Amino acid sequence: MPVLGRVMISSNDLRNGVTILVDGQLWTVIEFLHVKPGKGAAFVRTRLKNVKTGTTLERTFRAGEKLERATVENRQMQMLYNDADGFHFMDQESFENYTMQRDLIGEPADFLKDGMIVDVQLHEGVPIGVDLPPHVELRVVETDPGFKGDTATNTGKPAKLETGAMVNVPLFVNPNDLIRIDTRDRRYIGRVN
């Protein structure tokens, strides 16, 4: 019997990005596959990511099994700054401030820049994650200088960005260049004029 105020979802309705409560913890579906074997009951094979710890888990649910869907609210926030206490965000509508630790944000923290507008996920009023735009523009602060004629894009060198993140860039990229990075796979996309 569903508990009042809780939203139940069928395992048949699981999709990438859906957040559910399993064993009292928040998990986001990152992969799912509906399986209908020739014999036996259908089931849903999933790969889940723990929202707080970032660990992944493979879990199989019976077809039609009821799961508790976590109510997650997305709010646009501005990243103000980061310090020893964490990353500080301000809600664009209510002007409330929230602080999140680096381990809760995970790898996207490498690309967070002061003043950047991002989507922050809240569960019961508590921030649980950050969605960066797919591409960000950041300045290179440290890399070996490029030389005239270094036009190869298939060979690379490490570069340190203004946020402290390390990425691989083509040989022709110089310190102080503004570059575009794909935040999903840390890939260099191009220079920004």
Task: List, as one string, the DSSP characters of 108-133.
Answer: GGGG--TT-EEEEEEETTEEEEEE--
* Residue that is last in its domain, among 53, 69, 85: 69
Q: Are 164 and 188 in contact (CB under 8 A)?
A: no
Q: Indicate if 20 and 63 belong to the same structural domain.
A: yes
Determine, yes or no, domain membership for 151: yes
What pLDDT does 56 receive? 87
Assigned domain for 17 exists: yes
Please list, in sequence order, all residues whose beta carbon lies within 8 angstroms of the beta carbon of residue 183, skipping any fewer than 6 positions away: 108, 111, 132, 133, 134, 135, 136
Position 15 in a domain: yes
Question: What pLDDT, on the 0 to 100 scale, is given for residue 168?
Answer: 92
- Statement to judge: residues 65 and 76 lie in one domain: no
Note down the domain range covering 172: 135-191
Q: SS3 for 153?
A: coil
Which of 189, 186, 155, 160 lies closest to 172, judged by CA?
A: 155
Number of compact structural domains in the chain: 3
Check whether residue 113 and residue 153 sit in a common domain. Answer: no
Q: Which pLDDT value is given to residue 146?
A: 72
Q: Decide if 1 is inside a domain.
A: no
Domain end call among 131, 150, 178 = 131
For residue 144, the domain's CATH number is: 2.40.50.140
Q: Of the candidates 131, 121, 4, which has an alpha carbon nearest to the alpha carbon of residue 68?
A: 4
Does 50 lie in the same domain as 87? no
In tens digits, the chain (193 residues) has pLDDT values of: 344 457 889 988 888 878 898 888 888 888 899 999 888 899 999 999 888 777 889 999 999 999 998 888 889 999 999 999 899 999 999 999 999 988 778 788 899 999 999 999 888 888 888 888 889 999 999 998 876 665 655 678 999 999 999 999 998 889 999 999 998 889 999 999 7
25 and 61 fall within a common domain: yes
Domain shared by 79 and 62, yes or no: no
157 in a structural domain: yes
Sheet harboring 19-22: ordered strands across? 7-10, 66-69, 19-22, 25-35, 43-50, 56-62
Q: Which of 106, 131, 156 is the last residue of a domain?
A: 131
- Do 97 and 79 share a structural domain? yes
